[in-house]
């Protein structure tokens, strides 16, 4: 088990959602980068809104922190008002993209089929998709959490023709932005379950390298409970990633978990 863990570097991803302007984003980077300089045992990414991608890329400079987006559209170009293509994200310096976040599913009506098209478009363009899955409180109460997550994985990862890294983020909807995090034990149980499902889709060697993140009310006070679990390989952080000190603390604590 130790060897398997060693091949999966921790990954900490900031999802800024619809927050910050250009000067706030630049100020964040100025403070954040020196704080995580010493931490070379984890990968770090920031996913700002589209309007900040270029500014954040510039502010990150030659640091090891990667840039990601929060969404994309699956077509390459054309009359799709309001949408952003994978090539545009690459052009802005993105290396990864969050797909199927619960806010996209629940507020904007994204279906598993749309999410599958987005995952394929990301992989086709050599962007790392961070596929988000997770059950609502109602589904959990009805004992359907695993069934829902299984469906989201099987549909979201359907018929992939492209190789490349894929990251899964388990984000129970009831834990997002509520201050009520899942217990580390629940996060481990679901991440283990996710890995079993992935083994039915991809070769085992690939699955052992795939990173599964936990997301939902992660903060410095609870991060090590998650990253200390054998199947949890990092976190997708919302609110606590908006503050450079708090996100840096999450990164530092994960490096040594």
Q: Is 171 a catalytic residue?
A: yes
The piece of 28-36, 71-79, 109-117, 209-217 that touches ligand 13P (CB under 6 A) is 209-217
Could you tell me the CA-to-CA distances from 141 to 82, 104, 112, 115, 146 in Å, in that order?
37, 22, 22, 25, 12
- 250 binding ligand 13P? (CB under 6 A): no
Name the minimum Å distance from CB 14 to ligand 13P. 9
11, 12, 15, 25: residue in contact with ligand 13P (rule CB under 6 A): 15
d(CA 92, CA 57): 8
CB atoms within 10 A of CB 3: 7
Q: Is 249 a catalytic residue?
A: no
- 254 binding ligand 13P? (CB under 6 A): no
- 134 binding ligand 13P? (CB under 6 A): no
Q: Which is nearer to ligand 13P, 7 or 107 (CB)?
A: 107
- 239 binding ligand 13P? (CB under 6 A): yes
d(CA 28, CA 60): 10
Tokens describing residue 175: 């834990």
- 135 binding ligand 13P? (CB under 6 A): no
Nearest to 70 by CA among 16, 11, 1, 109: 16
Locate tokens 């410095």: which residue? 220
Tokens describing residue 37: 């300089």
- 218 binding ligand 13P? (CB under 6 A): yes
- 172 binding ligand 13P? (CB under 6 A): no
Q: Which is nearer to ligand 13P, 78 or 129 (CB)?
A: 129
Q: Which is nearer to ligand 13P, 4 or 180 (CB)?
A: 180
**Count of H-run helices and E-run strands, the chain:** 12, 8
Positions marked catalytic? 101, 171
């Amino acid at each position: 088990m130790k060897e398997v863990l060693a091949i999966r570097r921790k990954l900490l991803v900031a999802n800024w959602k619809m927050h910050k302007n250009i000067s706030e984003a630049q100020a964040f980077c100025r403070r954040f980068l020196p704080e995580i300089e010493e931490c070379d045992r984890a990968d770090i990414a920031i996913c700002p809104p589209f309007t900040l991608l270029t500014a954040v890329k510039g502010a990150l400079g030659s640091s090891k922190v990667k840039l990601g987006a929060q969404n994309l559209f699956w077509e390459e170009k054309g009359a799709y008002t309001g949408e952003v293509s994978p090539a545009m994200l690459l052009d802005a310096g993105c290396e990864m993209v969050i797909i199927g976040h619960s806010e996209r599913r629940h507020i904007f009506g994204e279906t598993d089929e749309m999410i599958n098209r987005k995952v394929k478009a990301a992989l086709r363009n050599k962007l790392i998709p961070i596929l988000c899955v997770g059950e609502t409180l109602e589904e959990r109460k009805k004992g359907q959490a695993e069934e829902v997550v299984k469906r989201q994985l099987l549909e979201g990862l359907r018929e992939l023709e492209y190789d490349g890294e894929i990251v899964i983020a388990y984000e129970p909807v009831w834990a997002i932005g509520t201050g009520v995090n899942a217990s580390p034990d629940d996060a481990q149980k679901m991440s283990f379950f996710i890995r079993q499902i992935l083994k039915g889709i991809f070769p085992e060697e690939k699955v052992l390298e795939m990173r599964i993140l936990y997301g939902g009310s992660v903060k410095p006070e609870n991060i090590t409970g998650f990253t200390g679990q054998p199947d949890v390989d990092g976190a997708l952080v919302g609110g606590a990633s908006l503050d450079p000190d708090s996100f840096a603390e999450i990164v530092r604590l994960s490096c040594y978990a």
